Amino acid sequence: MTDVSWIESALTSARPQAMSALLRYFRDLDVAEEAFQEACLRALKAWPVNGPPRDPAAWLIFVGRNFGLDDLRRRSKQTELPSDEVLSEREDVEGALAEQLDASHYRDDILRLLFICCHPQLPATQQIALALRIVSGLTVKEIARAFLVSESAMEQRITRAKRQIAAADVPFETPGPLERANRLGTVAAMIYLLFNEGYSASGGEAHVRLPLCEEAIRLARLLVRLFPGEPEILGLTALLLLQHSRAPARLDAEGEIVLLEDQDRSQWDRALIDEGLVLVEKALRHGAAGPYQIQAAIAAIHARARRAEDTDWVEIDRLYGALEELQPSPIVTLNRAVAVAKLRGPAAALEMIEPLGERLSGYFHYFGVKGAWLKELGRLEEAREAFDRAIALANTPQQAAHIRSHLDRLLVP
């Protein structure tokens, strides 16, 4: 068989495990990355001839570790004598290999690798860029494209981020349950940011950024495999799958945003929906609802409604109420108001969002829905004002165009 695409898939899928083990050995991101690169190069030569190894990750760790140790030795010869510690570690390569097959061990390795990318001193976009580079193995060029910046700017950003985390000193001992939960939460938040980075894009940029959503789903699934009984991780994965299922219907042929209630639901991806619904059910069995699970449950209600008018708004209102209690935020209240508008009309919804005006004064959607409800009530002058504010705050040309079409309809009685 001449098709060697399986090698690339195998390298990508082994990357998180191999990189995280190499990081544990060398405790230096650059050394680990270099060792992994070298192991990949050797795999590209060896695997087409010898066929795939039984455990690609273990193969890469073994080869990468040997290379890294040789390299360290070479370098230390030029500078100073290698420490006994570094050399003695060479002896237990076989032992290390066996250890890699132990799932309970490598899950903390992978979690650590992801967690390191989420260092609190790094701005969110840098955390995401670093995770894409280190864990997912996207090239700097691919990441730059997804973030719509130049390659050299992205290269700089990633180098700077790496330097910052090198100084951060994340402990390498196996974390206790509390620390593990804390790391999981931080990593989950980063994955959700990564997904939103891809999802909030629209129009001409949308196709460029969809890979970010897919990468986020891949990382979320990885976490579910490592920590199968964590309801919030199940919830997060379900949420991403359910939101992503609507991607084919979110934009029309002109690249304009199509609102949820106007989307052609036959275009929604059934396989993603079915999988998301199962994960929501699995998560909720634990009886430990959290913000991701509640948001996934809300997305599940939309996914279950065959037509927009079949949506169970009572349940959505109830779930947003629960989310407000767990994680109070003006944006959650704004979303709840959308359900309230469906249940009790625009006046009740406007009353609900009235106190949010100050805190959401820079939020596009606030003025978008406010304008729509005012229009429904016939308060056209106020509606126009709200729509003008929305246009000024629009993040993308598509958002602005969407509001403008509302404005146009205001002019035609």
Partner 1 sequence: MLYAILCYNVESVVDDWPREKAEAVMAHRRSIAEKLRSEGRLSAFAKLMPTTAATTVRAGRVPVVLDGPFAETKEQLLGVHFVECASLEEAIEIASSLVVETGALEIRPVQAGFNLEATQ
4 is a contact residue toward partner 1 (CB under 8 A): no
Number of Cβ within a 10 Å radius of residue 246: 21
Decide whether 124 or 224 has the Cβ nearer to partner 1. Answer: 224
Return the range that interacts with partner 1 (CB under 8 A); candidates 18-26, 38-46, 186-194, 224-232.
224-232
- Output the DSSP codes for 103-163: HHHHHHHHHHHHHHHT-TTS-HHHHHHHHIIIII---HHHHHHHHTS-HHHHHHHHHHHHH
Return the range that interacts with partner 1 (CB under 8 A); candidates 194-202, 225-233, 303-311, 402-410.
225-233
What tokens were used for 202?
């629209």
Q: Which listed residue (23, 113, 206, 222) binds partner 1 by CB under 8 A?
A: 222
The count of C-alpha atoms lying within 13 angstroms of the C-alpha of 241, restricted to the half-sphere facing its C-beta, is 25
260 is a contact residue toward partner 1 (CB under 8 A): no
13 is a contact residue toward partner 1 (CB under 8 A): yes
Write out the H or E segment, with its range, that includes residue 101.
Answer: none
Distances in whole angstroms, Cα of residue 281 to Cα of each of 54, 235, 310? 34, 9, 21
Q: Which residues within the stretch 153-212 sit at the binding site for partner 1 (CB under 8 A)?
A: none
Q: Which residues within the stretch 280-339 sit at the binding site for partner 1 (CB under 8 A)?
A: 281-282, 285
Binding mask 231-250 for partner 1 (x = CB under 8 A): ---x--x-------------
Look-up of token digits 């992503």: 244
Binding mask 37-76 for partner 1 (x = CB under 8 A): -------------------x--------------------
Q: How far is the CB of 270 from partner 1 (least distance, A)?
A: 6
Decide whether 5 or 78 has the Cβ nearer to partner 1. Answer: 5
Binding mask 72-111 for partner 1 (x = CB under 8 A): -------------------------------x--------
Distances in whole angstroms, Cα of residue 115 to Cα of each of 99, 122, 172, 291? 22, 12, 12, 20
Q: Which residues pair with 257 in a beta bridge?
A: 251
Decide whether 277 or 390 has the Cβ nearer to partner 1. Answer: 277
Burial of 322 (0-12, 13-18, 19+ CB in 10 A): middle
Look-up of token digits 């994955």: 191
Q: Which listed residue (74, 77, 163, 270) binds partner 1 by CB under 8 A?
A: 270
Decide whether 279 or 316 has the Cβ nearer to partner 1. Answer: 279
Burial of 255 (0-12, 13-18, 19+ CB in 10 A): middle
Q: How far is the CB of 225 from partner 1 (least distance, A)?
A: 6
Long-range contacts of 145-148 (CB under 8 A, 24+ apart): 145/208, 146/197, 146/198, 146/208, 146/209, 146/211, 146/212, 147/197, 148/205, 148/208
Write out the H or E segment, with its range, that includes residue 244.
Answer: helix 231-244
Q: Which listed residue (77, 105, 207, 225) binds partner 1 by CB under 8 A?
A: 225
In the complex, which residues of this chain contact partner 1 (CB under 8 A)? Answer: 5-6, 8-10, 12-13, 56, 103, 218, 221-222, 224-225, 228-229, 234, 237, 270-271, 274-275, 278-279, 281-282, 285
